[in-house]
Homo-oligomer: A and B are copies of this chain.
């Protein structure tokens, strides 16, 4: 606790995801007062054909 879910398009490198988990954990810990050890981060990736804005999927643009 806290539990953080980051949902984004696939395509980021492992280095980016590693840094994402590290930096988001720090940001959450500093602002909420929760110890870093208690912060959990989940990454959820989606593909362009499963994500739409304004009625149009990214894969159709």
Contact = CB atoms under 8 A, between A and B. Distances in A.
A26 B41 CA distance: 16
Interface of A: 1-9, 12, 14, 16-28, 30-34, 36-46, 49-57, 59-60
Per assembly, the copies of the chain total: 6
Contact of A55 (B3, B16, B26, B49): B26
A55 B8 CA distance: 17
Contacts of A42: 7, 46, 50-51
B60 A52 contact: no
B51 A1 contact: yes
A59 B14 CA distance: 10
Contact of A53 (B39, B44, B52, B59): B39
